[in-house]
Amino acid sequence: MSVHAAPAEIASLDTRFADLDLADRLSLAASLGRAVFTTSLGIEDQVITAAIGTHRLPITVSTLETGRLFHETVDLIAETEGRYNISIERFRPQQDAIDAYAARYGLNGFYDSIEARHACCHVRKLIPLAAALSGAEVWITGLRRGQSGNRAATPFVAFDTERNLLKVNPLADWDLETIKAHVDAQAIPVNALHGRGYPSIGCEPCTRAIKPGEPERAGRWWWENDEKRECGLHVPDNTHGTPAARNAAQPGPVSLATENGCR
CATH number of residue 50's parent domain: 3.40.50.620
Residue 261 lies in a domain: no
> Residue 25 and residue 168: Cα distance in Å, rounded?
9
- 20-71, pLDDT tens digit by residue? 999 999 999 999 999 999 999 999 999 999 999 999 999 999 999 999 999 9
Structural domain harbouring 199 = 7-248
> Residue 201 and residue 245: Cα distance in Å, rounded?
23
Q: Model confidence at 232, in pLDDT bands (50, 70, 90)? A: very low
Name the phi and psi angles at 63, rounded to 5. -140, 155
Residue 259 lies in a domain: no
Tell me 145's DSSP state: G
Q: What is the mean pLDDT of residues 138-158?
A: 86
Residue 59 lies in a domain: yes
Residue 107 lies in a domain: yes
Burial of 110 (0-12, 13-18, 19+ CB in 10 A): buried
Residue 255 lies in a domain: no
Q: Cα 96 to the chain's mean position, in Å? A: 23
Residue 254 lies in a domain: no
59 in Cβ contact with 88 (< 8 Å): no
pLDDT at position 249, please?
Answer: 43
Q: Model confidence at 87, in pLDDT bands (50, 70, 90)? A: very high
Residue 260 lies in a domain: no
Name the phi and psi angles at 125, rounded to 5. -125, -55
Residues in contact with 68: Cβ distance below 8 Å, sequence separation at least 6, in sequence order: 124, 203, 204, 205, 206, 259, 262, 263
Partner residues linked to 62 by β-bridges: 38, 89
Domain count, the chain: 1
pLDDT at position 226, please?
Answer: 57
> Residue 214 and residue 237: Cα distance in Å, rounded?
27
Tell me 200's DSSP state: S
120, 206, 231, 262: the active-site residue: 231
Residue 257 lies in a domain: no
Question: Has 203 been annotated as catalytic?
Answer: no
Q: Model confidence at 17, in pLDDT bands (50, 70, 90)? A: very high
